[in-house]
């Protein structure tokens, strides 16, 4: 079973994604930059990253910083990004940093599972 790390600062959303994915993946959770890097270093196959990890900070794009870290340090990890905002420039940056897909929140769980299993 593949290991997935879900990174989001909204605890309820994080937990609901974990519940939805735990039948198909071994799930791990992080809600900030530091805990995300710690979990990635322990070893995961897939990461699903929210672009903004601090909703009140408009300049916060820690998700992209995590994606950049993965590209430089763990390129074998499959990365996906998500956001509730219409941040198409961030989506483009994420794809340029190696993300395999950009999901708009709220995410359709069946589509999410299908894409994660297809693109791994």
Q: What is the pTM of this model?
A: 0.91
pLDDT at residue number 74: 96
Q: Dihedral of the CA atoms 29, 91, 1, 23 (nearest 10)?
A: 70
Other beta carbons within 10 angstroms of residue 109's beta carbon come to 13
CATH number at residue 43: 3.40.50.2300
| Containing structural domain, residue 65 | 3-119
Q: What is the pLDDT of residues 63-110, one digit of tens each?
A: 899 999 999 999 999 999 998 877 678 888 899 999 999 999 999 999
Query: Which residue has 């993300």 as its token pair?
Result: 99
Section 3-18 average pLDDT: 94
**Measuring CA to CA, how many Å separate 61 from each of 53, 77, 119?**
7, 20, 24
Domain count, the chain: 1
pLDDT at residue number 58: 60
Minimum mean pLDDT range among 43-52, 57-66, 94-103, 106-115: 57-66
Section 27-41 average pLDDT: 94
């Amino acid at each position: 079973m593949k290991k997935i790390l879900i990174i989001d600062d909204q605890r309820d959303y994080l937990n609901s994604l974990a519940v939805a994915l735990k039948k198909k993946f071994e799930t791990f959770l992080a809600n900030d930059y530091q805990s995300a890097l710690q979990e990635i270093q322990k070893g995961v196959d897939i990461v699903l990253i929210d672009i903004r990890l601090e909703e009140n900070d408009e300049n916060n794009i820690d998700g992209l910083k995590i994606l950049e870290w993965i590209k430089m340090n763990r390129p074998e990890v499959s990365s996906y990004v998500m956001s509730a905002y219409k941040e198409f420039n961030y989506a483009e940056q994420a794809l340029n940093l190696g993300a395999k897909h950009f999901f708009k929140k709220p995410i359709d769980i069946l589509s999410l599972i299908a894409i994660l299993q297809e693109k791994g």
